[in-house]
Every structure is written in structure tokens, then in C-alpha cells.
Amino acid sequence: MQNSTTYNNRFILRVSFISALGGYLFGFDFAVIAGALPFLKAQFGFNEYWDGFATASLALGCMLGCLIAGRIADRYGRKPGLLLAAGIFFISSIAMALSPDRIFFVSCRLIAGIGVGMASTLSPLYIAEIAPAESRGRMIAINQLTIVLGILITNIVNYLLRNEGVDAWRWMVGLGAVPSALFLTGVCWLPESPRWLMNTGNTDKATKILLRIGGTHYANTIIEKNTPDNSRKGYAGLFSKAVLPALLIGMVLAVFQQLCGINVVFNFATTIFQSVGFNQDDQLKQTIFIGIVNLLFTILAMWQVDKLGRKPLMLLGAGGLAILYVASAFLLQQKSGLAAWTLLASIAVYAMSLAPVTWVLIAEIFPSKIRGIAVSVSVLALWFAYAILVFTFPILASRLGTYTPFYLYAIICVLGFLFIYRNVKETNGRSLEDIGDITPGH
């Protein structure tokens, strides 16, 4: 039986962690702009339009990066795509730090988004194809852990640099070169994905990697379930009967992970807590609390995702958020400081459910022959939904009150709960090859 195989867990963990450093870049760029914007306003004359454009430019770049990543991953391999992502982010971080004007800065941030988008697609994809079924969820969740660490550490660094003069923002964005250099160095050491190698007919190379992961029995089991497929599927292959149902599920889950609304708590925490009377110091404290809660419950998710299963955690997240959002909206409407507690609880529920498990499912549910492009399209949908979320919240909050969007997000969570209950199949403990044989939703 496959579950009796002895795995090289140190190798699997090391490979997964290096690949997941791409998630750290995601977290870094997600958080660094909040610390840099006050300085950019003073130095480059950013108004509200430029604030929004500078923030959203990352998402625009990420969408482009997703499309690039899918093509590269399926044609040239997962490793070249990861190398390119790390290189793009390294160069763009330094370029942002040296920006002479706002147009150059926003352009470089958009380019950085290309690297982040590629990494956000390829890191979970690569880990899914390396890790055995028994630990795959936990290993992919490392990607979410590094995102969370990137956000928390960047917020702390931004806080420490806040009094370093008018050029403090250059240090904030330039420090992104450090994790990207580590990522670039680490990826050079990574082996290519054995699933991609088998799919392109390089069975001998794939066998060597599989032997290192789990020994002869494991390697033979995986190889027997794979047949080389050198045809170039392209985006047309996404519309085949074997792929389209899974693609629709992947895209809906990706969109739901964003439109469930939790990222407005991360991106607009000061606005939300200001509405209930928190002063600036209290607002900053809340962002630290948010980061700590996010980290602790992400670690809890890593522990439970391969025990409780994907579907129960997704249902817990959707249902729990719906209830907590209604409570948060009511408390925000009453201008009660207790809203801070319900929003922290929302972060906790999201961190142990929708945040990591969505990435796990997106990386698992597609057939090997087209997995790269299918994952990239799903993640593209995720970034598009994120852009809609962060664009609409300030408008809704200013016109209808800060509390009103949370009623809307509660309704979205109820719809997400129903979709997950009806359409998502449990993938826990199944090999990627077995998952590919399941018809989604039936």
C-alpha cells in the first residue's frame, strides 16, 4: 500500500519551503505599500488616484504574471518559471527603491507584480507535484504560511523604518531584494517537477526524483499512473469535457477566496478601526494583532488540513465568516470597539480555512497534462477578484458606511458555502493522478 511508504520528509520539507518563498514575496509586496504610501505622498505628490493606482498596480502585474506562468510551466517546466519569477522580483525591488518619479515607481511595482503573480501560481503547483498525497495539503499550506510571514515581518519592518527620514520608503521597498535573492538561490537547487518530466517523456529523470522522495515502491506507483503527453494543449484544452468542470470550480473557489471580503480587513484596517474611534496608535496595534492571529491560525491549518480534510475546512470558513461578518457589521454600525474582536475572529477563521485550503485545492484538482495553464487561469481569477474587492470597498464604505460591505460579504459567504457543499469533492489522501480521474461535482 502507498500509505506504508517511508518518505524522505526532510527533502520534501526543504523543497517545499524553498518553493514557498514565492509566497513570502506575495506577502511582502502585499504589505509594503501601506508603509511606503505616506512617504510617496510627500515625495511624489500622490493623491487618492495615485494611491489607488500604486496599490492596484501589483494586482494588474499579477494577472499578467499568471498568464505568463501557465505557458512557461507547461512548455518549459516549473523550475524555469520559478527562476524567472525570482529574477523579476529581485530586479524590480531594486528599481523601485531607485525610482526618480511616481510613474517609474508604479511601473516597477507593476513589473514586480508579474513576478509575484508567477510565484503565486507556480509555488503551490510545484509543491503539489512534489509532495506525496499524505502530506500534500500540509506542504502546500507552507505557501500560505510564508505569505502570512511576509505580511507580518514587512509590517514590523515598516514600523521600525517609519522615522528614518523622507527616503524611508526606498529602504522599505528595496529590502524586497533580500527574500527574492534567497528565493532565486534556492530555486537553483530545486529539482524539476517529476510529474512535468513524466508528462514530457523524461521518465528516467522523473524516476530519480521520485526515488529520492519515497523509494522504489512509491516511484513505481506514480510512474504506472502516468503516460507521457507531448502535445501542446494551450488554452483551448481548458474547454475540454475533462478539464472545464474542474476549471470552473477552481475559478469560483479562487474568486470566492477574495470576494469573501477578508482582505479589506488587512488592506483597510486603519479606515475600519478609525470608524469606531480608535486612535492611530490603537490602529497600528490592531494591524500587529491581525498579523499575529493570522500566523497562529495558519499554523493550525497546516496541522489540520491533512487530518480534517479540505471540504470540511472550506465549509467551516464560509459558514463561520458569514456569522462573524453579520456580528461585525452590527458592531461597526453601533461604533462599538467590540468589532475589533469579531474581526480578529474572522481573520482566525479565514487563516485556518479559506486562505490555505483554496491554494491546496487549486493546485490539486487539474489533470497533469494541463495543470500549469489551468492553475494560472484560476489564480488570474483570484487576482482579478482581489482588484475588484480593494477598489470597491472604499467607495461602498464612504457612501454607505464602513459596516455595510460586511453584510454583503456575509451574503457572498453563504453562497460560497452552498457552492462548496454541492460541487467540491474531498481530495484528501488521494494521489494527483487519482484526483484527475474524478469528475468534479459528481
pLDDT of residue 372: 78
Q: Are 261 and 214 part of one and the same domain?
A: no
Asked if 13 and 82 sit in the same domain, the reply is yes
- The residue from 158, 190, 222 where one domain ends is 190
Pair (380, 424) in one structural domain:
yes
Last residue of a domain, one of 170, 190, 210: 190
Of the candidates 179, 205, 230, which is a domain's last residue?
230
CB 52 within 8 A of CB 106: no
Residue 272 burial by CB count (10 A; 0-12/13-18/19+): exposed, middle or buried? buried
Joined together, the cell numbers standing for residue 152 give 507580518
| Cα–chain center distance at 221 | 31
pLDDT for 442 equals: 40
The number of distinct structural domains making up the chain is 3
Same domain, 164 and 299: no
Same domain, 186 and 265: no
Cα 67 from Cα 373, distance rounded (Å): 8
pTM: 0.80
pLDDT at 94: 94
Q: Hunting for cell 488587512 — which residue is that? A: 266
Is residue 124 located within the same domain as residue 166? yes
335: left (phi over 0), alpha (psi -120 to 50) or beta: left
CATH number, domain with residue 394 = 1.20.1250.20
Same domain, 50 and 178: yes
Q: Give CA separation, 325 vs 52, 174, 197, 271, in Å.
A: 25, 37, 45, 17
Note whether 313 and 430 are same-domain residues.
Answer: yes
Identify the pLDDT of residue 233: 59
pLDDT at residue 37, rounded to an integer: 74
**CA gap 121, 132 in Å, rounded:** 19
For residue 412, give the nearest of 300, 329, 297, 311 by alpha carbon.
329
pLDDT at 125: 87
On whether both 37 and 167 belong to a single domain, the answer is: yes
Let me know: does 302 contact 127? Beta carbons within 8 Å: no
**How many angstroms from the chain centroid is the CA of residue 377?**
14
- Rounded to 5°, angle at Cα 298 from 376 and 218: 65
**Of residues 420, 328, 406, the one with CA closest to residue 365:** 420
Q: In angstroms, rounded to a whole number, what is the distance separating the alpha carbons of residues 341 and 353?
A: 19
Q: Which three cell numbers stand for residue 269?
A: 484596517
Q: Does residue 337 share a domain with residue 276?
A: yes
Statement to judge: residues 39 and 179 lie in one domain: yes
- Is the separation of the CB atoms in 356 and 305 below 8 Å? yes
Cell numbers representing residue 346 in the block: 474572522
Q: Of 134, 143, 145, 196, which Cα lies nearest the Cα of 366? A: 196
Ranges of the chain whose pLDDT falls below 50:
1-3, 438-442
pLDDT, tens only, 124-158:
889 988 888 788 888 888 888 898 899 889 888 88
- The closest of 344, 320, 318, 319 to 331, measured between CA atoms, is 344
User: Looking at the structure, do residues 324 and 377 belong to the same domain, yes or no?
Assistant: yes
pLDDT score for 407: 97
Range of the domain at 220: 194-230
CB atoms within 10 A of CB 337: 13
Interatomic CA distance for residues 4 and 1, integer angstroms:
6
Contact 55, 113 (CB under 8 A): no
